[in-house]
Amino acid sequence: MVQYFRLVGLALLLSVVLGRVANAASFNCDKAITETEIAICADPELSALDGLMGAWWLSVEQPGSMLNIQKRWLTERNECLSSVVCLESKYEERFLELDYEVLRMLDRHLDDVVHFLRKDVHYAYQTSAFLYMLDGANLQVAVIEVPNIPEDLDTCHRGNVEAAVSFNSQAFEDIIGIVVSEDLSHPFGDIAQELTTFTKWAGHGDQSHKVIYVLINKEFIPYKVYLDTCLDSKVEYVPIWTYER
């Protein structure tokens, strides 16, 4: 009984001090009672992972077929009690079973870490990425600003290319050539700082372009756009556009 009241008291305290973190979990942290629930509400990383898990579950079209599996996972998760390391590993393992990877990226506008679920689809000659993020209690597709570079451009003249480049927002679906760079020294931990895409121009020899993105207000914004012009004799990218951050 003493243990019960201790947990209840801690849950009530957390509901007062956690604020934004409490809202990220998939359940109401004001009603957190168990050691596991309290640990999730107390830790921003666990809270974000739980929010993603809850949103994924809401997105499942036929949850009945996976109900028993998810119940077994919840039982195993709760056996971690309040161990943050154990709980994080359980979430990571479950997402991997579902073919998702958790991507943590620094938002330079919010100065905070945003969590995404990344799913890669492998084709014969390329891999495409899909990114999903938390929107309230639901998953939504992330947004990316994509440069449009007409492939019939005369790439021998940089001025022509700069004038022709335009950008449009689109869903982060079926995006090829994704490379994520991480900064292990960042105070937030092992967090992605930039995301790079690479696009090969079909029917244009070795010509291609790559774009480096940063996350700003939960949207992927081009930071630098590089073009492999017709002037080079080897793969050498020329920067044609830079976002001042």
Q: What is the DSSP string of 59-94?
A: H-S-GGGGHHHHHHHHHHHHTTTT-HHHHHHHHHHH
Local structure of 103: helix, strand or coil: strand
CB of 60 closer than 8 Å to CB of 70: no
CA angle, residues 116, 105, 133, in degrees to nearest 5: 20
Dihedral sign for Cα 9, 75, 101, 139, please: negative
Dihedral sign for Cα 140, 146, 150, 155, please: negative
> Which residues, listed in sequence order, are joined to residue 129 by a DSSP beta bridge?
120, 175
Helix axes 44-59, 84-97, angle to 10 degrees: 30
Tokens 């107390």 label which residue? 42
Cα 90–chain centre separation: 18
Confidence of residue 32 (pLDDT cuts 50, 70, 90): very high
How does pLDDT run across 148-172, given as a tens digit for each residue? 877 676 667 666 666 777 888 999 9
pTM of the model: 0.80
> Which residues, listed in sequence order, are joined to residue 27 by a DSSP beta bridge?
none
Note the pLDDT of residue 183: 57
Largest CA distance in the chain: 78
List of residues 6+ apart from 200 with CB closer than 8 A = 177, 208
How does pLDDT run across 159-214, given as a tens digit for each residue? 666 677 788 899 999 988 788 876 555 555 578 888 988 877 655 556 677 888 99
Domain spans in the chain, listed from the N-terminal domain onward: 2-98, 102-242
